[in-house]
Amino acid sequence: MSEQTETNKLPYILTALGTLFLTMAVLHFYGYLNFAREEEGLLVAEFSLVTIGSDEAGQLQAKAANHTAECVDGVMILHDTRHNGLSGLLVDNRQRVVRCNAQSVPLAQ
């Protein structure tokens, strides 16, 4: 019978864990790994569509909402004026992005 020496598996396990943590740290440093914060996924406001000529159109308030919209690269971006830096994509109830048509910027000649 040949005697086999038992190898110590602890260095292999520590190397695997160290490689995993180092990979995660590098990915996070370069921005490829993002952790979602709780406030990023919250519902900020609900919107509804009021058609022109309906009964609801006459019942609108004169005070403007605390949101402004901007068309960026063909999608509607909504900014909250009360909370500085809070913005996001405008989506419908099925989480589909609301598209918009922006005026094209003339090219300099």
In percent, the amount of the chain with pLDDT more than 90 equals 18
User: What's the chain's length in residues?
Assistant: 109
DSSP 26: H
In contact, 50 and 56? CB cutoff 8 Å: yes
pLDDT at 89: 82
Q: Dig out the tokens for 79 from the structure.
A: 């900014």
What mean pLDDT comes out for the span 30-46?
Answer: 69
Q: By C-alpha distance, which of 95, 79, 75 is closest to 44? A: 79
- pTM of the full structure: 0.46
